[in-house]
Structure 1
Amino acid sequence: MSKIFGGRYEVLERIGAGGMAIVYKAKDQLLNRVVTIKVLREQFATDEDFIRRFRREAQAVASLSHPNIVSVYDVGKEGDTEYIVMEYVEGRNLKEIIRDYAPLTTDQAINLARQITSAVQNAHEHHIIHRDIKPHNILVTEDGRAKVTDFGIARAVSSATVTHTGDIIGSVHYLSPEQAKGLQSNEQSDIYSLGIILYELVTGQVPYDGETPIAIALKHLQEQPTLPSKLNPRVEKEFEGVIMRAIAKSPEQRYTSAKELLEDLNHFLAGRPINRPEVFPVDDLEATRTHQGMSRVLAPVSVREIEPEQEQEPEKHINSFLTKVKKKRWQWILGIAVVLLLLVGGIMLRNYLLVGTTKVPDVTGKTVPVATDYLNSAGLKLNSEVKKEFSDKFAKDLIIEQNPQANTMVKVGREVQVVISKGPNTGTFPDVTSSPMSKADAVNMIQNDGFTGKITFQTQPSSSVPKDYVIQQDPLPSATWPKSGPVKLTISNGSPYVSINMPNVINKSSEDAKTILQQNSLVPLVETQDSTTIPADVVISTSPNPGETVQQGSQVTIVVSRGPGPLAFNIDKDASMFMAQIFSVIPKETIRIRANP
């Protein structure tokens, strides 16, 4: 049986997890819509500090109302479990989009950046700092709408409540220098993280990377990033200036507010000049560093060349000779290195050319273990990076696509990339028949719940459901159904009945009367009464009266006689009684009966 929170939120499936909570897709049974539920992990249920942070998240985000921020609908507690109910967003997170499509065009990057910056500006205006801005926490719908989510470590700030915890929270690739030093985060920390995302959108990579989180954090403090235009020549210089100002290490050089950043993005998009000094890194920066807990970068030192004093003539000749010797030695070393490189390259090319070819087997519709065996038998390997997508055609865990395609001839040892089915993307189908619902409203409800399959309609008459309203649905209410599955709705085309004149069935038998009424689409109700004038089982009267207007399909009443009916004169019986009375008063001897006249 599905878990239900608060008596109304039915869990459909688990869709993610974070350090503090598990995220589920659920259905709000009261409002009949799909929602997201964030449930605090069990190990934190008894940790009062975590519970306070969890509740603070809900209170902070609930105060926000912005098209680019995931809305919070409800907060509750089920037993010892704390949960938050939020808007369900159908789409992918920005990190997945960067991984698949970056570098993006300038227009695409600015379109996303403007939406994200607008959301952050709205949060800052309500004194909320996100503190964990990163692509993983930004969802993008199919129509390109960006929505910032996961305020798991957001905190409402004011001059009276700000405290320094010393915690460094957030993904280290998007960590501001202040956070890396353990200083208090502010609005400019979010702006720095936004700048890192902009950098990644147009270059396809983060400016700072390393083998350990500490190494990456030190680079945020010490190193200067490569200019985006050096990684992607299509990046315009003025747009590059916006990015470099957003990720300036010094808060004094950085944008002071999300509003400023959004203004510059709008100016650039509109083709208007950006009147701010440029912030660019110094190439080949030679900085002097000191180590105080964590290293910090000192200002670059400019070194002026000092002209050498005039040397003695003998020393000039010796130095000239040594220079020539060194020059020839380096020429020999360079020549040998070139020869070695050519030899190694030739050997590698020869080995490549001598490698045999093989035909790629068809692994679509197979599981990964089976596909691995097929590929190994053909001298190929399965690429370890496996993508997963929903599929109505292939069952869960079966391969949907492969690259290279089946029957392609490739070199032995090549890797084959595959896409694995996550099964059909299903949901709980809504109820559009429980109360009279128009055809248009039913279609809107179905589509708002994320069902995109073709909707077909059939009509039938109904005396109980108004015209153009839904009579039946397929699939049934609350059925688990593929999001792209077909849907069939039966729509009422109104009552099949019309007004007619009440047939005259008086003086007909009850059976004949009922037959006539039913043939006219009327529903007869039979009542009986005693009658000495109408024979039994004969209709005495009707309601309505014959000839009056009546609606087909409605009930009519017929009154049937129970008898005894009219008094009849029995001639034979009464005549016999009369003769008997006469004979009783005449003497027998006076009566002569001639038997044979």
Structure 2
Amino acid sequence: MLDGRYRVEARIAVGGMATVYRALDTRLDRVLALKVMHPGLAADEVFVERFIREAKSVARLDHPNVVGVFDQGTDGTYVYLAMEYVAGCTLRDVLRERGALQPRAALDIAEPVLAALGAAHLAGLVHRDMKPENVLIGDDGRVKVADFGLVRAVDTNSTASTGSVLGTVSYLAPEQMEHGTADTRVDVYACGVVLYEMLTGAKPHAGSTPAQVLYQHLHEDVPPPSAAVPGLAPQLDELVTTATARDPQRRPADAVGLLAMVRTAREALSDAQLDALPPQARTPEPGASSGSEDRTSVIPRPAAARPLPPAQDEQLNRTTRLEQPPAPPAPPGAAAPRAGRPHRRRPSRGLLAALVAVLLAVVGTGVWYISSGQFTTVPAVLDMTQAKAEQTLHKAGLGVKTQQDFSDTVERGHVISTDPGPGGRVRNTGKVTVTLSKGPAKAEVPNVVGMPFDEAKRKIEGAGLTVGEVGKQFSGETPQGSVLATDPKPGVERRPDSPVALTVSKGAALSVPKVQGLSVAAATSALEDKGLKVEVSDAQVYSDAPKGSVAAQSPADGGQVAKGDTVTLTLSKGKEMVTVPDVTGRSEADAKQALTSAGFKVEVDRPFFFPRDSVDSQSVKGGDQAAKGDTITIRLKGGF
């Protein structure tokens, strides 16, 4: 539990600056992501200041395509941000799994990314670390920009004070590398590199070391994507080369300008250009690493990437093949036909005309059927209310079928997904299945008070919850091993798999009898009569108790235990025997010091008349053995 409010459930990702966990806000009962700075960095005021700056910067953006920040705080050595949890995957996951994307899909991702950065730029902020790892694609299809950890105000000194360059090597603008400066145009450059990677499936510059990649960014232009994927539209080349111009003055001033270029390019592209299939040859090997320079520090990484909307039906894109009519016979005097080729009789012109007309009619009918409205593109209705979604779909001429499901991220009554998805095609007579959110799934804590522990555990797990911490408490009313109480209490609703703490009865409290000094048999009998178990320790100790009897017990006599608890007995080795030092002839002080150091107690017998400071005799002779702790009496000399 962090800060008494956030219950940590799982680790999502680890980066160089922080670790991200999935957690539950127990106060508002919602799932969120906790970004916790590494304790070693929390002592660095510069890092802490940057961490807090991220919280303030993102909180003031409040943009639907930016991962929101809910809270920021400190708990002991832990400095943290409480952020929006996005269930889904990163753009890096998609590129690793699918390689190059269709232009339509690439632009569908680029637009919300640029909208988020545009809002940041208008607010006077620059991200400085744009890369596929920082683009989240939710299970509901929404695109969000994450990790504003390197964000900085545009009007502040934009040169790194430490002389280091922050950001990921493959996406750094030349001016970031050369001068350490960063304004809104470095984000534009990074977005151009990301767009190139989406269209081609690879980074524009590659090298075995970061230094090689840095050199290429400084001295080589980013090539047009059509150089790697022939057939891409010139408008896409222009988008990439303009955004990645090495001279920052040649780039759009900010993400808002690049977004306008993207939308203009989309309008100029035909459906065929937008839906051009990327070459399979550029698809990365499964499990291929994205490189150490692309590590992310804040992004949830689910086990599998959610696929983007599928390509259009292959049947609608299949080309009709027309067979060429047979060639007419050669004129007189021409060369004879090749051997082995049968002589075909030339059909009449009327028959040829009829065949061509039929073929043209069939092809024309097919084209008309496809393009004249028999298929309708499904409009995007994600996150709309049910009423607005139905209105939008009906307006497009589509029927609607609704179903419901739980969602941690979509508000109750809003659309989670559609089938077909946005951009998909459906016959006008068909229906679109709309899945509406029922809000986060809830599970009710069952009443298991008085049940045996095993039975209570089965009932709690059957309700969709888990058993959390188990405490024990004495009770004279509830049988031992049965549940005394639950936290939360019965009837309270919690998210599925939330833990329920149990307090289990230890039964009536028993007082441990005193068995020190007894034999093992007598001590065992006395304890077992009380319903306790006995364990004899292998270790033995010196004590005043007779050898072989009980020297110590745990718990001690008078302690409270439950029936069936174990009492451990430690046996005595008897008194420890040590050699008595000879102190005759010594002064009283020296004699006391010697005997006390040997472990004995000392008594002094002084003569009544004229005692002298010299030991005349001792009760146990020097060199003899005596029990450690025994008393040795010394007699002082007397007389003149």
TM-score relative to the length of structure 1: 0.47
How high is the TM-score relative to the length of structure 2?
0.44
